[in-house]
């Protein structure tokens, strides 16, 4: 080895190749999906009470989020052995995709404006999240405890752990769903958040999970090309639930559940904005704190413009990701 100045190193090439392949596959698949969805007339219906400038989005093909599970299923087997933990991630993402697809399909194809019942959606999300935690502990040797970012230590949860993952999963999927209201916002926010879990997986030598993260990142970037303003496609609940599911699964399997609050800071803040707005509205008998919730509509109505709002919120999310990377350092990474 000393005679030769250079030697091929397997892993970095593997990651780079998986990432670039996912970008290309996602770019192509999203393009194809747009044609298919358009030809079937699966256009987005825009909320009547949203910002008026969003009316032009009426008719943009939705359910583009199918591309995430399609890209992952095709690209992952090329670059990693499909170990049980990877199957678990794919399983819950597939479940979330199916749930989101059912909701979108009812709304768009069958014109039932409310989609699935909220209670039924929550039940499926809780079940998927509990399944995630239970399988991770029972079959994959995951400790039922939470590592605390920035503080060396952990909180043992024992048998309550699947209940916690149920709440984490439901919270994450719904938070990404709420955030998905401006072109590129949710997909870009996920691109940034997933960096934390790639680094966490690498720090734990979980190469397979790192490849999952890399492929998810590539899939989001390929989609983003078509989804950035003016969007030619919308991910729909199909996509936002899938991305939330993938983030929750990566957090559980890299043992960084609580870090998800920071890594997905954008999603957390958007969710809090809705909760605060509704609570304040009820408590004051009809007064509003924000001009409109979620937060991104408030900024739009302040005159930041759709793209300006998206870029500012991405920058906020990047800052959260940097902080999360430091938090990771205290968690045995």
Q: Which residues bind its own copies (CB under 8 A)?
A: 4-9, 11-13, 15-16, 19-20, 23, 148-155, 184, 191, 195, 198-199, 202, 214, 217, 221, 224-225, 228-229, 307-308, 311-312, 315, 318-319, 322-323, 325-330
Cβ distance to its own copies smaller for residue 1 or 110: 1
The encoded tokens of residue 107 equal: 């709304």
Cβ distance to its own copies smaller for residue 148 or 292: 148
What are residue 43's phi and psi, to 5 degrees? -90, 155
Q: Is 61 helix (H, G, I), strand (E, B) or coil?
A: strand
User: Which distant-in-sequence residues (6+ apart) come within 8 Å of 246 by Cβ?
Assistant: 68, 89, 93, 190, 194, 212, 216
Cβ distance to its own copies smaller for residue 31 or 43: 31
Q: How far apart are CA 239 and CA 37, in angstroms?
A: 14
Shortest distance, CB of residue 32 to its own copies, whole angstroms? 21
Shortest distance, CB of residue 313 to its own copies, whole angstroms? 12
The encoded tokens of residue 132 equal: 């995630």
Q: Which residues pair with 233 in a beta bridge?
A: none
Shortest distance, CB of residue 45 to its own copies, whole angstroms? 26
Q: How far apart are CA 263 and CA 272, in angstroms?
A: 15
Chain centroid, CA 290 distance in Å: 25
Cβ distance to its own copies smaller for residue 34 or 148: 148
Phi-psi sector, 190: left (phi>0), alpha (psi -120 to 50), beta: alpha
Cβ distance to its own copies smaller for residue 70 or 201: 201
Cβ distance to its own copies smaller for residue 184 or 208: 184
Task: Return the CA Rg of the chain.
Answer: 20
Q: Is 146 helix (H, G, I), strand (E, B) or coil?
A: strand
Positive/negative CA dihedral, 290, 60, 189, 104: positive
Cβ distance to its own copies smaller for residue 225 or 280: 225
Helices 161-179 and 118-140 pack at an angle, to 10 degrees, of: 130
Cβ distance to its own copies smaller for residue 69 or 259: 259
Cβ distance to its own copies smaller for residue 174 or 255: 255
Shortest distance, CB of residue 327 to its own copies, whole angstroms? 6
DSSP type of residue 43: B
Shortest distance, CB of residue 151 to its own copies, whole angstroms? 4
DSSP type of residue 145: E
Shortest distance, CB of residue 53 to its own copies, whole angstroms? 16
Shortest distance, CB of residue 27 to its own copies, whole angstroms? 12
Q: Is 218 helix (H, G, I), strand (E, B) or coil?
A: helix
Q: How far apart are CA 13 and CA 64, in angstroms?
A: 29
Shortest distance, CB of residue 264 to its own copies, whole angstroms? 17
Shortest distance, CB of residue 183 to its own copies, whole angstroms? 11
């Amino acid at each position: 080895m000393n005679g030769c100045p250079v030697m091929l190193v397997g892993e970095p090439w593997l990651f780079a190749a998986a990432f670039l392949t996912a970008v290309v596959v996602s770019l192509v698949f999203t393009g194809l999906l747009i044609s298919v969805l358009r030809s079937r007339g699966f256009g987005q219906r825009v909320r009547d009470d949203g910002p008026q400038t969003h009316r032009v989005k009426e008719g943009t093909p939705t359910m583009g989020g199918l591309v995430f599970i399609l890209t992952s299923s095709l690209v992952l087997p090329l670059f990693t052995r499909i170990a049980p933990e990877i199957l678990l991630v794919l399983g819950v993402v597939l479940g979330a995709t199916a749930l989101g697809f059912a909701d979108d399909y009812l709304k768009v194809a069958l014109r039932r404006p409310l989609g699935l019942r909220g209670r039924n959606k929550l039940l499926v999300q809780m079940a998927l999240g509990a399944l995630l935690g239970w399988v991770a502990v029972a079959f994959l040797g995951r400790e039922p405890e939470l590592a605390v970012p920035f503080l060396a230590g952990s909180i043992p949860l024992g048998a309550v752990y699947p209940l916690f993952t149920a709440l984490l999963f439901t919270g994450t999927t719904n938070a990404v769903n709420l955030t998905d209201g401006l072109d590129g916002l949710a997909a870009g926010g996920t691109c940034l958040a997933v960096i934390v879990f790639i680094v966490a997986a690498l720090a734990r030598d979980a190469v397979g999970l790192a490849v999952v993260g890399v492929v998810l990142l590539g899939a989001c970037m390929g989609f983003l090309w078509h989804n950035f303003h003016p969007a030619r496609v919308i991910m729909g609940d199909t996509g936002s639930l899938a991305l939330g599911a993938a983030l929750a699964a990566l957090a559980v399997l890299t043992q960084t559940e609580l870090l998800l609050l920071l890594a997905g800071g954008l999603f957390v803040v958007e969710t809090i904005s809705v909760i605060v707005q509704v609570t304040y509205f009820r408590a004051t008998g009809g007064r509003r704190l924000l001009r409109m919730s979620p937060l991104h509509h408030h900024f739009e109505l302040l005159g930041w413009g759709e793209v300006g709002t998206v870029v500012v919120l991405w920058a906020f999310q990047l800052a959260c990701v940097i902080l999360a990377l430091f938090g990771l350092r205290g968690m045995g990474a």
